[in-house]
Amino acid sequence: MPLNIPSIDNRSYRQLLDEALARIPVHTPEWTNFNESDPGITLIEVFAFMAESLLYRANQIPERNRAKFLKLLGVPLAPASPARALVAFANDSGPTETVSLPAELELRAGTVPFLTDRALDVLPLEARAYIKRELATEDQQVKDYYRLLYASYHGDEAPTDLKLYETTLLDASGRQGVDLNVDTVDGSLWIALLLRAADKPAGNGLEDWAQLRDRVREQLTAKTLNLGLVPLLDGQTRRLGPVGSGAVEMGVGLLSFELPSLPPDGRLPDDPARRVAAWKPLVARELQDVLAAPGVVELSLPASIEELGLWTNLDPLEPGVGDFPPDLDDTGLAQRVLTWIRVRPSSAAQARFLWAGINASMATQRVRVFNERLEPGSGTPDQVRKLVRGSVVPGSVSLLAIHQGSRETWKETDDLLAASGEIGRRDATGTEAESAASAVFVLDAEAGELRFGDGLRGKRPPAGAELYASYDACEGAAGNVAARAIKVGPELPPGFSVSNPVPAWLGADGETVSAGERQVARYVQHRDRLVSTADFELIARRCPGIELGRIEVLPAFHPDLSPNEPGDAPGAVTLMVIPARDPKQPDAPQPDRLFLDALCRHLDSRRLVTTELILRGPVYRGVWVSVGIEVMGGYAPAEVREAVKQRLAEYLAPLRRRPDLAAGFEPGMQDGWPLRRPVTQRQLMAEASRTPGVLQVNDLLLAREDGVAVAELRMRALELPRLAGISVLVGEPLSLVALLGTAAAAPAGEAGGITRPVVPVPFIPEEC
């Protein structure tokens, strides 16, 4: 029998009024005027109104008891998570000098405040990021022309293989990104440091430009260049090894940052074999793993202006060739180049970038509240003080207590029971041990409450003590602002601007009361520790900052080992996670790195020390389906065909979007297509026949992603089907050849031969 909690009294105002009016003839028969104008009726209406208000408050007693029980268990609601953003400053029209900006500089995206994490030097420069992208199609006649043009390159050395490239600007607006190991001919990202457009000299002579470059280079010597990098965030595996396994941060140290290593006066020797570009590494400090998440790298620039220059005696054919920086077609832009920074990944790194820029800093969506005055201390045990703002950022609260002229700073703790009391404890001999009382408090970040000790466990604020709290508060999901939304800074110097090249991330609203109540029973079961399969799923779904659509827990399973079956890898636990939404591919959602990183941080402190945890998205296998049906009389063929498509698409989907259709599926398919379940022709025919309006299914053709027809497609490990294409016709099904279209011819392999060194050569497009 279900435990339904009844209302204490669910009568409404009208019911109370009608009941009171019905009792009048029984108790006072002489009262016969029941019109609303009668003063007695007015008093009864007032009584009914006040009684309804009391009943409303009485019916909240069970809800209050549940909330009180939540507090007694010490299970607070999950607080809001502050959003993170990467911002880039620009000294567009300010003085031509390096300006230092302090930490916690306030920026705004409309009314949403952000604070920078660190101080930085804003250099009077502009920057653009380029790559040497290989030509998509190379005309053999054009290639022969360039081979003849560069036949004398490097003198009489061994013949070289020319790679024609076009200089391509890295632009975050396209959201495509670039893989340095695949999309470039040299595996490098090139950062051009440019003079500002506003600093064009009055005269346009060579000496005027040289003097301007020297003045700007003097502002750069011995300074720190903050280089911001945004990786392309698609799904990747994230692994948490057993505690103490000595794992290192992925990506840190896998990138090298280099400046030109110039000969004296920047002049290359006359010997063709020695006219090559040399590079020297810069001292780099990576504040974040920029291969896994947007971050900033601090580069220490040299102390000499001669080391910030370029080569001065390049031949007309040398710019952009080999290890020289990309050749810029825009002569006005090329004239503004001060120097280049080359970013190269190691052979072990997978470097894919969406944006790169200078004068960058990380920012957090938060607002700082200073010295908020709280209710004075009372000296009683278990005091509670309420902050004005909720959604407090954990770890940001500091409390100052002033009592009888003395100041004391109180700190946040996660457990008052571990704090020492105001009275020293006695040892076995009865001697009182000397120990200072712990001036600590426990923070309920979601509610904005500070709870103090009882004197035995944690110090009590003395009676009359003045309490002042300083803390950070955030706005949750409202901080996930769009790209270029952060563009105002009240304290920015004149002539400065700021922008965020990519959208902010990780902002999440706090947990609701109803969701928190559902977690009480689950929390009592798992106690916030990852032990059983259910613990992994329940705790992962409480991860702040992400919206989890589906999770599969595979104990004793490692996706990189063989055979890939649960139970073969003791000590390993694999979580296959699917986000609730993926704008890039809604039909086949994949978690990106930020999604997996947030889940890693949430689960890391809750797993057992011997557990190796692997987080990964599904591996999708394309499926082609062609169906031929007969339609019942009275049904429109077009509507029935569309209904069959939607039913089969929902049937094969990794995540359920249509509860009305999913209700009719067999058990075990409520969340999506199960892991390791094969896709069979007969299953799909049976499911298509259940569509209203389908008289019969004439035939169904099933094919793999490469177009090969099969009767059954097996799914292994983390594989899930993805509907690559579907056709539903009345009559016979469309052939697979017609469904797939003309197959593209496989690229012919190049003839083997002697490996020649590859020399990147800039391609100059023809112009009228």
Q: Residue range 141-168: average pLDDT?
A: 66
Bridge-based pairing of strands 548-555 and 572-579 is antiparallel
51, pLDDT greater than 80? yes
Q: How confident is the model at residue 522 (pLDDT cuts 50, 70, 90)?
A: low
Higher pLDDT, 517 or 421: 421
746, pLDDT greater than 60? no
Hey, what are 719's tokens? 């594989």
- The pLDDT of residue 50 is 92
Q: Cα–Cα distance between 33 and 575 in angstroms, integer?
A: 74
- DSSP per residue, 371-410: EEE-PPP---SS-EEE-SS-SBPTT--EEEEEETTEEEEE
Range of the domain at 45: 13-59
Q: Is residue 241 part of a domain?
A: no
Asked if 651 and 579 sit in the same domain, the reply is no
588, pLDDT greater than 70? yes
Q: What is the DSSP letter of 307?
A: G
Asked if 612 and 631 sit in the same domain, the reply is no
Asked if 155 and 292 sit in the same domain, the reply is yes
Q: Residue range 722-748: average pLDDT?
A: 72
Instruction: Give the closest residue to 120 by CA, choosing from 254, 231, 285.
Output: 285
Spatial contact of 372 and 468, defined as CB atoms under 8 Å apart: yes
Higher pLDDT, 24 or 316: 24
471, pLDDT greater than 90? yes
CATH of the domain at 569: 3.30.300
Q: By mean pLDDT, which of 15-24, 413-422, 564-573 is the weakest?
A: 564-573
Q: Cα–Cα distance between 721 and 710 in angstroms, integer?
A: 14
Residue type, 474: C
- The pLDDT of residue 314 is 80
For 552, the enclosing helix (H) or strand (E) is strand 548-555
Q: Is residue 630 part of a domain?
A: yes
Q: By mean pLDDT, which of 26-30, 172-176, 454-458 is the weakest?
A: 172-176
Q: How confident is the model at residue 564 (pLDDT cuts 50, 70, 90)?
A: low
For 24, the enclosing helix (H) or strand (E) is helix 13-27
Domain end position, chosen among 59, 74, 93? 59
- The pLDDT of residue 234 is 63
- The pLDDT of residue 292 is 76
Domain end position, chosen among 581, 616, 651? 616
- The pLDDT of residue 237 is 55
Q: Is residue 759 part of a domain?
A: no
Q: Give, rounded to a whole angstrom, the gap between the first and last alpha carbons of the chain.
A: 85
Asked if 702 and 736 sit in the same domain, the reply is yes
Q: How confident is the model at residue 742 (pLDDT cuts 50, 70, 90)?
A: very low
Q: Cα–Cα distance between 614 and 408 in angstroms, integer?
A: 45
Q: Is residue 684 part of a domain?
A: yes
Q: Residue range 718-732: average pLDDT?
A: 88
Q: By mean pLDDT, which of 42-51, 235-244, 347-356 is the weakest?
A: 235-244
Q: Is residue 486 part of a domain?
A: no
Bridge-based pairing of strands 398-403 and 466-473 is antiparallel
Residue identified by tokens 């370029």 is 310
pLDDT in tens, 322-345: 888 888 888 888 888 889 999 988
Q: Cα–Cα distance between 71 and 112 in angstroms, integer?
A: 31
- The pLDDT of residue 303 is 87
Q: Cα–Cα distance between 87 and 474 in angstroms, integer?
A: 18
Q: Residue range 312-327: average pLDDT?
A: 82
664, pLDDT greater than 80? no
Q: Is residue 519 part of a domain?
A: no
Q: Residue range 375-385: average pLDDT?
A: 91
- The pLDDT of residue 373 is 93
- The pLDDT of residue 445 is 87
Hey, what are 671's tokens? 């969340």
- The pLDDT of residue 160 is 57
Query: Where are any strands of DSSP class E within 141-243?
Result: 161-169, 178-179, 189-194, 224-231, 238-240
Q: How confident is the model at residue 356 (pLDDT cuts 50, 70, 90)?
A: very high
Q: Is residue 246 part of a domain?
A: no
- The pLDDT of residue 426 is 58
Q: On the CB side of 762, how many CA atoms lie within 13 Å of its CA? A: 20
Q: How confident is the model at residue 289 (pLDDT cuts 50, 70, 90)?
A: confident
Q: Residue range 360-373: average pLDDT?
A: 93
- The pLDDT of residue 59 is 84
Asked if 598 and 659 sit in the same domain, the reply is no
- The pLDDT of residue 250 is 44
- The pLDDT of residue 765 is 62
- The pLDDT of residue 466 is 92
Asked if 574 and 606 sit in the same domain, the reply is yes
Hey, what are 616's tokens? 């990964």
For 514, the enclosing helix (H) or strand (E) is helix 513-526
Q: Residue range 588-616: average pLDDT?
A: 82
675, pLDDT greater than 80? yes
Higher pLDDT, 765 or 292: 292
Q: Cα–Cα distance between 243 and 338 in angstroms, integer?
A: 48
What is the pLDDT of the chain when averaged over all its residues? 81
Spatial contact of 122 and 101, defined as CB atoms under 8 Å apart: yes
Asked if 220 and 335 sit in the same domain, the reply is yes
Asked if 545 and 625 sit in the same domain, the reply is no
Asked if 201 and 312 sit in the same domain, the reply is yes
- The pLDDT of residue 205 is 66
Asked if 337 and 188 sit in the same domain, the reply is yes
Asked if 385 and 463 sit in the same domain, the reply is yes
Q: Cα–Cα distance between 478 and 506 in angstroms, integer?
A: 11
pLDDT in tens, 85-130: 999 999 888 888 899 999 999 999 999 999 999 999 999 999 999 9
Higher pLDDT, 668 or 641: 641
- The pLDDT of residue 744 is 35
Q: Residue range 397-408: average pLDDT?
A: 90
pLDDT in tens, 231-286: 886 655 555 555 444 333 444 467 889 999 888 887 888 777 778 888 888 988 88
Q: Is residue 179 part of a domain?
A: yes
Asked if 642 and 668 sit in the same domain, the reply is yes
Q: What is the pTM of this model?
A: 0.66
435, pLDDT greater than 60? no
Q: Residue range 747-751: average pLDDT?
A: 36
Domain end position, chosen among 570, 596, 616? 616
- The pLDDT of residue 322 is 81
Q: On the CB side of 430, how many CA atoms lie within 13 Å of its CA? A: 0
Domains in the chain, number: 5
